[in-house]
């Protein structure tokens, strides 16, 4: 876990280093820099709970009932787990000091060697990589795998790549490939094992400087690709916010005003139900609290915003998100007005006072709070909006 955390820290530092010069040209990239720096600070300052180390496949023994489950838990993908199960079943492998052993075969998993980590290593020399389509099919991934394989061959290893689909659908074929690759006598005789410890192989054969330059180029390409993707996401978010910001604010303000108007209606009905003495006391108290103030009409206190449907953007994915959010906001708005209309029907006194206050506040869509108004679907509301825009040249949602 610590190794994984260290890797993520260095990766984020690299991304920050690339983003800082980019942010000089595009100021919004600073948001990405600040966010990544914040996550980095959280990881560096968060306390790590100390205690007994958890049981892992590294310490598993044949006496442990769950030793196979521990090894499977150490795999990094379902395909690796399936391959491990097939190998254990075929060769009757048993754990021994972090490896799986049987006569003539030694299987180690998650073997770290310099800057790489191999899925499986058989007999300390044969690397088996399980390739999933998601992470190994793109042109960039193919190039990374090629560089990785060249590195392995240059340091005395042999590499076998098995597609994850083969492991899932025909695991016996995956095992057969392993036998032909690492266990057949002819293949074994043609291989000179320099060392039983992969770490000791670092001095067998030096890799030319060109290969390291290729690796560096691939790393820079990956970082640049990540920065471009982050910049695109920030740009898309800016376009989305600019398109729907006013619409979202108008809907939110309308809901806030409606809730305030409901409370004002309830208070006026409560005050009207007081006996004359209590009503006089409440009126006197209000006069004292508002002494010297000019009584303003509700139309000055409630500044209803016209709800204007967002303009269409050119990016189809962003437009789809805008339409989806508008539909959600429309449905919530329609539900709010439906509940208010139901209350006006069930409580005529509330309905009369509420509509009087709404008219006094100059609410632009009075027909929405009328009890006999039919409840419209989202599509009907859009049609209503379109017809109104054609009639008066405006874009107000009726």
pLDDT tens-digit readout, 28-82: 777 777 877 777 777 666 655 454 567 788 888 888 888 998 898 888 888 888 8
With tokens 């073997």, the residue in question is 111
* pLDDT for residue 106: 92
Q: What share of the chain in percent tops pLDDT 90?
A: 16
Read off the pLDDT band of 393 (50, 70, 90).
very low
Judge whether 54 and 41 are in contact, CB under 8 Å: no
Question: Looking at residue 158, what is its pLDDT?
Answer: 92
Given the structure tokens 């058989």, which residue do they identify?
122
Instruction: Say if residue 287's pLDDT is above 50.
Output: yes
Residue 369's pLDDT band (boundaries 50, 70, 90)?
confident
What's the confidence (pLDDT) of residue 53?
61
Q: What is the mean pLDDT of the chain?
A: 78
231 close to 22: Cβ distance less than 8 angstroms: yes
Percentage above 70 pLDDT, the chain:
75
Widest distance between CA atoms in the chain: 110
Cβ atoms within 10 Å, residue 62: 9
Residue 378: name the closest of 330, 338, 307, 333 by CA: 330
Q: How does pLDDT run across 228-263, given as a tens digit for each residue?
A: 777 778 888 888 888 888 888 898 999 999 999 999
Q: What pLDDT does 371 receive? A: 66
**Which pLDDT score is estimated for 394?**
43
Lowest-pLDDT choice from 13-22, 272-281, 285-294, 388-397: 388-397
pLDDT at residue number 230? 77
pLDDT band at 107 (very low <50, low <70, confident <90, very high): very high
- Lowest mean pLDDT: which of 208-212, 332-336, 346-350, 355-359? 208-212
The pLDDT of residue 309 is 84
Distances (CA, A) of 304 to 38, 112, 218, 307, 372: 39, 64, 56, 9, 23
Confidence (pLDDT) at 88? 92
How far is the C-alpha of 312 from the C-alpha of 284, rounded, in Å? 54
pLDDT band at 265, cuts 50/70/90? very high
Residue 76: predicted pLDDT: 86
Does 192 have pLDDT greater than 50? Answer: no
Q: How large is the average pLDDT for residues 119-135?
A: 85
pLDDT at position 184 is: 75
* Angle in degrees, 0-180, between the axes of helices 209-272 and 316-346, rounded to the nearest 10: 20
Strand partners, 117: 112
> Taking the CB of residue 244, how many other CB atoms lie within 10 A of it?
22
What pLDDT does residue 202 have? 44
Reply yes or no on whether the pLDDT at 189 is more than 80.
Answer: no
């Amino acid at each position: 876990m610590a190794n994984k955390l260290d890797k993520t820290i260095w990766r984020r530092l690299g991304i920050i280093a690339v983003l800082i010069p980019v942010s000089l040209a595009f100021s919004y990239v600073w948001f990405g820099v600040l966010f990544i720096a914040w996550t980095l600070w959280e990881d560096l300052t968060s306390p790590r709970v100390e205690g007994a180390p958890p049981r892992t496949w590294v310490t598993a023994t044949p006496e442990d009932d769950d030793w196979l489950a521990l090894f499977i838990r150490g795999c990094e993908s379902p395909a690796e787990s399936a391959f491990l199960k097939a190998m254990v079943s075929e060769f009757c492998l048993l754990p021994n000091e972090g490896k799986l052993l049987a006569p003539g075969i030694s299987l180690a998993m998650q073997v770290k060697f310099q800057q790489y980590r191999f899925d499986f290593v058989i007999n300390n020399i044969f690397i088996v990589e399980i390739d999933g389509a998601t992470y190994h099919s793109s042109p960039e991934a193919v190039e990374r795998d090629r560089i990785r394989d060249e590195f392995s061959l240059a340091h005395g290893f042999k590499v076998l790549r098995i597609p994850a689909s083969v492991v899932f659908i025909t695991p016996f074929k995956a095992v057969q490939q392993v036998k032909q690759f690492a266990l057949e006598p002819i293949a074994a005789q043609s291989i000179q094992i320099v060392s039983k410890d992969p770490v000791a192989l670092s001095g067998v054969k030096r890799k030319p400087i060109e290969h390291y330059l290729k690796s560096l180029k691939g790393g820079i390409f990956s970082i640049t690709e990540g920065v471009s993707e982050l910049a695109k996401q920030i740009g898309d978010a800016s376009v989305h916010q600019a398109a729907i910001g006013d619409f979202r604010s108008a809907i939110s303000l309308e809901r806030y005003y409606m809730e305030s108007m409901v409370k004002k209606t309830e208070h006026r009905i409560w005050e009207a139900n007081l006996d004359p003495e209590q009503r006089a006391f409440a009126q006197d108290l209000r006069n004292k609290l508002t002494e010297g103030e000019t009584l303003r009409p509700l139309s000055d206190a409630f500044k209803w915003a016209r709800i204007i449907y967002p303009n269409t953007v050119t990016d189809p994915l962003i437009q789809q998100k805008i339409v989806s959010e508008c539909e959600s906001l429309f449905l919530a708005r329609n539900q709010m007005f439906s509940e208010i209309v139901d209350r006006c029907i069930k409580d005529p006194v509330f309905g009369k006072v509420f509509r009087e206050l709404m008219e006094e506040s100059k609410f632009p869509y009075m027909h929405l709070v009328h009890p006999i108004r039919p409840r419209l679907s989202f599509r009907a509301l859009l049609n209503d909006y379109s017809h109104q825009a054609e009639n008066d040249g405006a874009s107000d949602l009726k």
